[in-house]
């Protein structure tokens, strides 16, 4: 019986560079109020959101991803030809096949990398980061590009008072590469499919195609149920990620949760008892909920504004439709 040669990868993996792209159009709450019976004060108090970005027809999932990817690759100090894998997390690319990752890989100038899409909602970046880490350590790619990208404005029901104000568009990307020391901790991830109805697409594409419904599919959610789950259950997952990394909240420099809602973020900070020195990402205020793109976009902004620094220890956690979640501790690039 022949013996298979073991994989020859790096001992560890790290995030080497980060990049982001926000559409040029900024949409204030006043625009949302044209189609729902609410107020700017109510939207801010319930979500913390004041503005969000909506993509133009030219700012496609591919175009936004290419922009974010270019910045991440430059930040990592490598060339596109060195990218051996492209992982794209999105729920708003409307072609079932081929994977948009293949188109993005070609447009950035990568040299025949593995390329595939994943659908894990707001936890998608964490899922992609974990897969990329495995590819680098296993040896199937030296550098992997992970992209979270959404055009959620295409899936927003502007007459749904519970969700019309929540969603935004954008793309965030990171390059994952080899490291000599641990820089991406163990991932605590999972799913709770019994709660899948709390965040979902309103109807199937086939229902719209067949004329069963005349309204284009959108994302809807049970706000209170999602809030309770995120605040109580995800704080536990975040703590498990700290434990798995062998650190405590006091060892953190930065906390980057999924940018779903300011109240959820503040409640998690309180439940985790994060010290005052920990910088907390609150990008949701001006970017809205961009699902898979929210964590890398928030990470990029913290680094660009100097609120976080290279080498800082950060806890990242994503959670959303499925219900799915993923949390890990990383060293910032």
Catalytic position from the list 29, 53, 122, 261: 122
The sheet that has 169-179: what strands, in order across it?
12-21, 169-179, 143-151, 83-89, 114-118
Residue 55: asked if its preceding bond is cis (omega within 30°), the reply is: no
Q: Is there a contact between 299 and 259 (Cβ–Cβ < 8 Å)?
A: no
Contact 304, 285 (CB under 8 A): no
CB 265 within 8 A of CB 284: yes
- The gap from C-alpha 95 to its chain's centroid, in whole angstroms, comes to 20
Annotation marks residue 289 as catalytic: yes
Contact between 319 and 328 (Cβ < 8 Å): no
The 3-state secondary structure of 178-244, one letter per residue? EECCCCECCCEEEECHHHHHHEEECCCHHHHHCCCCCCCCCEEECHHHHHHHHHHHHHHHHHHHHHH
Cα dihedral: 223, 227, 230, 235 (round 10): 180
For the record, the structure tokens of 88 come out as: 């794209």
Q: Which of 29, 53, 93, 289 is catalytic?
A: 289
Sign of the torsion angle spanned by Cα atoms 296, 218, 118, 197: positive
277 is catalytic: no
SS3 of 268, please? helix
| Residue 111 among the catalytic residues | no
Task: Please identify which of the residues 29, 53, 93, 258 carries the catalytic annotation.
Answer: 258
The radius of gyration of the chain's CA atoms, rounded to the nearest angstrom, is 19
Identify the CA nearest to 22 among candidates 318, 286, 320.
286
Q: Yes or no: say if 269 and 256 are a contact pair by the CB < 8 Å rule.
A: no
Annotated catalytic residues are: 122, 258, 289
């Amino acid at each position: 019986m022949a013996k298979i040669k073991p994989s020859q990868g790096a001992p560890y993996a790290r995030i080497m560079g980060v990049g982001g792209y926000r559409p040029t159009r900024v949409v204030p709450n006043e625009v949302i109020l044209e189609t729902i019976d609410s107020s700017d004060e109510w939207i801010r108090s319930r979500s913390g959101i004041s503005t969000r970005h909506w993509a133009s027809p030219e700012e496609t999932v591919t175009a936004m991803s290419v922009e974010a990817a270019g910045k991440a690759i430059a930040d990592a100090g490598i060339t596109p030809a060195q990218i051996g894998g492209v992982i794209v997390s999105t729920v708003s690319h409307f072609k079932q096949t081929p994977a948009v990752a293949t188109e993005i890989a070609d447009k950035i100038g990568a040299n025949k990398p593995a390329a595939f899409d994943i659908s894990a909602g707001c936890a998608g970046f964490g899922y992609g980061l974990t897969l990329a880490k495995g590819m680098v350590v296993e040896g199937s790619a030296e550098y992997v590009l992970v992209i979270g990208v959404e055009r959620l404005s295409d899936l927003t029901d502007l007459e749904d008072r519970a969700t019309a104000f929540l969603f935004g568009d954008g793309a965030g990307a990171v390059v994952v590469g080899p490291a000599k020391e641990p820089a991406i901790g163990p991932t605590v991830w999972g799913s709770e499919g019994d709660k899948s109805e709390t965040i979902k697409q309103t109807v199937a594409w086939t229902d719209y195609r067949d004329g069963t419904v005349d309204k284009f599919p959108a994302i809807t959610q049970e706000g209170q149920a999602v809030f309770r789950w995120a605040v109580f259950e995800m704080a536990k997952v975040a703590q498990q990620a700290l434990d798995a990394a062998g650190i405590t909240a006091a060892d953190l420099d930065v906390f980057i949760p999924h940018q779903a809602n300011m109240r959820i973020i503040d409640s998690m900070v309180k439940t985790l008892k994060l010290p005052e020195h920990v910088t907390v990402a609150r990008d949701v205020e001006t970017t809205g909920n961009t699902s898979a793109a929210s964590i890398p976009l928030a990470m990029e902004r913290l680094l660009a504004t100097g609120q976080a620094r290279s080498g800082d220890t950060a806890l990242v956690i994503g959670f959303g439709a499925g219900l799915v979640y993923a949390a890990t501790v990383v060293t910032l690039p």
